[in-house]
Amino acid sequence: MWKRDWNVNLLNLSCFKPISVEKIINLTYIEEVAAGDREFIKEMIETFMRQVPEFVTHMQEFYIERDYQNLAKEAHTAKSSVMLFGLDELARRLKAFQLLAEKGEHAETYPAYIREFEQVCLTAISQLEEELDK
């Protein structure tokens, strides 16, 4: 049976408590920016859905190549995207990831950040798809 090792020291990041699987998106900010323009919101959702796999691929590649400066930049860009949809906890974690990567510190934690980003975004995408169907 597969066993997850939770003994990884993630500094003061409280060891990746799971983000709720309930509704995790919050469209308040994007709705304010869009000023009621549903087509704009739809375009932003579709853009986010295209970007997530690219973010994950780039983060993985930069990690493998030990290109931590570009990894930090990718985390920063991803942070801006998730904030549009109210994923504030994920944005905070991406900021912590960005700061670690900028310094090249605790690289052993980077795969956990990348996995969490991907998993949370997949949940968010599922919820955003429901919004597109409205």
Nearest residue to 22 (alpha-carbon basis) of 132, 120, 102, 103: 120
Average pLDDT over residues 110-131: 96
Q: How far apart are CA 118 and CA 82, in angstroms?
A: 11
Average pLDDT over residues 76-92: 97
Confidence label for 1 from pLDDT (cuts 50, 70 and 90): very low
- Helix/strand/coil percentages in the chain, nearest 5: 70, 0, 30
The DSSP code sequence of 90-119 is: HHHHHHHHHHHHHHT--GGGHHHHHHHHHH
**Who's near 75: CB < 8 A, 6+ residues apart?**
59, 94, 95, 97, 98, 101, 113
Nearest residue to 25 (alpha-carbon basis) of 79, 90, 80, 85: 85
Average pLDDT over residues 9-23: 54
Confidence label for 93 from pLDDT (cuts 50, 70 and 90): very high
The percent of residues in the chain predicted with pLDDT above 70, rounded, is 84
Confidence label for 134 from pLDDT (cuts 50, 70 and 90): confident
Domain ranges of the chain: 28-132
Confidence (pLDDT) at 133:
85
DSSP assignment, residue 37?
Answer: -
The percent of residues in the chain predicted with pLDDT above 90, rounded, is 78
Q: How far apart are CA 93 and CA 111, in angstroms?
A: 13
Confidence label for 27 from pLDDT (cuts 50, 70 and 90): very high
pLDDT of residue 19 exceeding 60: no
pLDDT of residue 12 exceeding 50: no
Average pLDDT over residues 76-96: 97
Confidence label for 41 from pLDDT (cuts 50, 70 and 90): very high
The CATH number fitting domain 28-132, selected from 1.20.120, 1.10.287, 1.10.3470, 1.10.20: 1.20.120
